[in-house]
Structure 1
Amino acid sequence: MKFLHSIILISLMSSAAFADEKKATVTWKNPDNYVDIDSADDHKDNFRTKVFTQLELEIEKLAGELPEGYSIDMEFVNVDLAGTVDHSFQITRKMRAIQESTVPAFAFNLVLKQNGKPILKGPIRLQDRHIIARGERIKAFSGMESFKIEKRLLNNWFSGDLVKIIKSWEENKDSLVANR
């Protein structure tokens, strides 16, 4: 019996340690108010779950590349998926039309932390008018793309702006902390 209690205790401690190592926390605030999270061919709730799951997995993967000690909290307040739902394709099936003018956009509140302490808080708006390559300006069923363009937008932000923010913090943190 003591052995079983020890295993359970070790298991719980390992879970707690693993939870502490999580580098990204993602929340979705008022998703009913998002600009465009409509499905072309899936039930609204199923599609929303698919979108959130895919984007959360991508964010967790990208956050795994953050320098040691850094983590982020992202509270999404708006999502606008690439493309628009095209109701004219067929009577029985709709499609998401991907065009250069229908780029994805995200709005979220960011908290960047170092060793659990917030070092930066603020709203972020991501949108890139040039993110859609010529080959992607096609009509595609929503599930086929697996949110590739949205993931690319997040990836570009992580590897570009967020890296610059962290680098700037690292270079200036001593003077910034002294001025607090």
Structure 2
Amino acid sequence: MKKILIALAFASGSLLSSFAGAGEVKVTWQDPDKYSDIRPSNENRDSFRAGVFKELGQVFADLGKKLPDDVQWNVTVTDLDLAGDVRPMMRPGGNDIRVIKDIYWPRMSFNYTMTDAKGQIIAQATENISDMGFMTFRPINAGNFPYETKMIEDWFQKQLKSNKFPLK
């Protein structure tokens, strides 16, 4: 059984999440200040980002459990556009709100490299994923970022079905 260790560290404008065990998943959040949309609606920017990175990093870690134990999967997220759009409230003391409409679908860009125990590359690519039909999914107990989670999980399942990724 894999043990998961979560480590968050800031380094040169990047946030790194390591999920280590028999197999390993490393997620690097590269230059988050340049992301398309990772704005909080009514909380501190740094704590919101840390929550996004932790929750979506855990999605990759959970998917990594489906891979053989000797696989190391390194993911570098280069852009993120959360579902919805943050709008300022126009009344005194009002907080901003995130408006979820079908015209504001989630998107993510990332690079990944997957290697085996010998360091041989199993899979490597640059991905730009999105889910324009995200509003057809009704999230129930799906965390704080259900649309992004589903988008990543759907992409991963496509990789497994096309035999691009090894299966446990």
TM-score range, shorter chain: 0.7 to 0.9
Equivalent in the alignment of 2:125: 122
- 8 A contact 2:22–2:69 mirrored in 1: no
Q: Where does structure 1 lack aligned partners over 5 or more consecutive residues?
A: 1-17, 137-143, 171-180
Q: Report the residue type matching 1:103 in the other structure.
A: W
- 8 A contact 1:89–1:95 mirrored in 2: no
| Structure with the greater alpha carbon radius of gyration | 1
- 8 A contact 2:25–2:64 mirrored in 1: yes
- 8 A contact 2:84–2:104 mirrored in 1: yes
Q: Structure 1-normalised TM-score? A: 0.71
Rate the CA distance shift 1:71–1:86 in 2: closer, same or farther, 3 A. Answer: same
Match runs of 1:17-32 below 5 Å: 19=20, 21-32=22-33
Match runs of 1:61-140 below 5 Å: 61-88=62-89, 90-91=91-92, 92-115=94-117, 116-133=119-136
Rate the CA distance shift 1:68–1:135 in 2: closer, same or farther, 3 A. Answer: closer
Rate the CA distance shift 1:169–1:29 in 2: closer, same or farther, 3 A. Answer: closer
Q: Structure 2-normalised TM-score? A: 0.75
Q: Which has the higher strand share?
A: 2
Identity of aligned residues (%): 26
| Secondary structure in structure 2 of the residue aligned to 1:74 | strand
Q: Which has the higher helix share?
A: 1
Q: Where does structure 2 lack aligned partners over 5 or more consecutive residues?
A: 1-18
> When the two structures are aligned, how many residues end up with a matched partner?
144
